[in-house]
């Protein structure tokens, strides 16, 4: 009989649900933003604002959860992380490239959602009536520029994120984002078990940073 | 290639409308460049590791 492979938990169910809701919302937002520009005509506004509201709620939830109920410092980047990466040292829970992707994509999504929330004032919905005079025309222009720039950055970064997630050598991360777990051997390739081993709850020495 | 979309109102004043959609192919191309660049780096790395 085969001995069971020891698995460790990388992502809690709530984090995986957040990730996939965010992923779906971002893909719908990109499609409803850019397909009409490319000549695919459809009623894109309802899909865009509803997906935007879903993304905003998900971002607020994630920000509160990771700030107050999780270890936010797991995602921070310090000079020592650059030195460790250059020296080929294994990381804690997140590798430097993962942290960089999270930082850049997170910033772009925050900018898009913040400006998108303001732009909701220009849309008539069952919940509120549009008020295009909320801001001056020149201020609206700046909001649109920031929203568009964030959207273009999200397009580039989403392409890169999808590519990296589908690489055969990164398959364990994709599996962990679907099922939550990876084997100890898979984790040990890039993660130092002394700094992160998936047993965070009962081990005060392991802080995932 | 324009960076911004600018229109004129009835009084001839210029109004900022948003970022130029000329940049859409640039963003897409940048994504392709990142993927292609990584594929090349990955292939070269594999080859150099195989030689060792």
Domains of chain A: 8-76+93-195 (1.20.950.20)
User: Tokens 């779906």, residue?
Assistant: A24
Residue with tokens 């195989």: B50
Q: What per-residue confidence (pLDDT) applies to A33? A: 98
pLDDT value at residue A170:
94
User: Is there a contact between A152 and B25 (Cβ–Cβ < 8 Å)?
Assistant: no
Q: Please judge whether B18 and A147 are an interchain contact, meaning their C-beta atoms are less than 8 angstroms apart.
A: yes
Residues A191-204 have pLDDT tens digits of 999 888 886 555 54
Using CB atoms, which residue from A144, A147, A155 is nearest to B27?
A155
Whether residue B50 is contained in a domain is answered as yes
Out of A141, A152, A157, whose CB is closest to B15? A141
- Contact residues, B window 32-51, toward A, CB-based 8 Å cutoff: 32, 34-35, 38
Q: What DSSP string describes A65-87? A: IIIIIS-GGGG---HHHHHHHHT
SS3 A124: coil
Q: What is the pLDDT of residue B10?
A: 85
Intervals of chain A under pLDDT 50 = 204-205
B52: containing domain: 21-52
Instruction: Please report whether residue B5 resides in a domain.
Output: no
B34 domain residue, yes or no: yes
pLDDT tens by residue, B15-51: 999 999 999 999 999 999 999 999 999 999 999 888 7
Q: What is the pLDDT of residue A113?
A: 98
Taking chain A, what is the end-to-end CA distance rounded to the nearest angstrom?
38
**Interface predicted TM-score (ipTM) of this complex, two decimals:** 0.91
User: Is residue B16 one of the residues assigned to a domain?
Assistant: no
In degrees and rounded to multiples of 5, residue A43 shows phi and psi of: -80, 90
The answer as to whether B11 is a domain residue is no
Number of domains present in the structure of chain B: 1
Residue from B11, B24, B26 whose CB has the most chain A CBs within 10 Å, to mutate? B24
**Radius of gyration for the alpha carbons in chain A, expressed in angstroms and rounded:** 20
What whole-number percentage of chain B has pLDDT above 70? 98
């Amino acid at each position: 009989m085969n001995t069971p492979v020891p698995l460790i938990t990388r992502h809690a169910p709530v984090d995986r649900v957040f990730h996939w809701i965010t992923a779906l919302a971002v893909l719908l937002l990109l499609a409803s933003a850019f397909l009409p520009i490319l000549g695919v005509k459809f009623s894109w506004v309802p899909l865009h604002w509803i997906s935007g509201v879903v993304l905003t709620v998900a971002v607020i939830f994630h920000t509160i959860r990771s700030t107050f109920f999780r270890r936010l410092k797991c995602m921070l980047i310090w000079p020592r992380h650059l030195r460790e990466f250059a020296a080929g040292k294994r990381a804690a829970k997140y590798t430097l490239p993962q942290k960089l992707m999270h930082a850049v994509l997170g910033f772009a999504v925050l900018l898009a959602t913040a400006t998108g929330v303001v732009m909701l004032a220009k849309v008539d919905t069952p919940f509120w009536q549009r008020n295009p005079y909320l801001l001056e025309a020149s201020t609206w222009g700046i909001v649109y520029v920031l929203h568009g720039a964030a959207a273009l950055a999200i397009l580039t970064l989403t392409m890169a994120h999808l590519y990296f997630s589908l690489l055969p050598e990164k398959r364990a991360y994709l599996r962990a984002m679907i099922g939550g777990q990876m084997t100890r051997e898979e984790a040990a390739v890039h993660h130092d078990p002394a700094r992160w081993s998936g047993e965070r709850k009962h081990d005060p020495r392991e802080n995932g940073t | 290639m324009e960076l911004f979309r600018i229109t004129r109102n009835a009084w001839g004043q210029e109004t900022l409308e948003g970022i130029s959609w000329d940049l859409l192919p640039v963003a897409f191309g940048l994504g392709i460049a990142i993927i292609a660049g990584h594929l090349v780096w990955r292939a070269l790395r594999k080859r150099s590791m195989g030689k060792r």
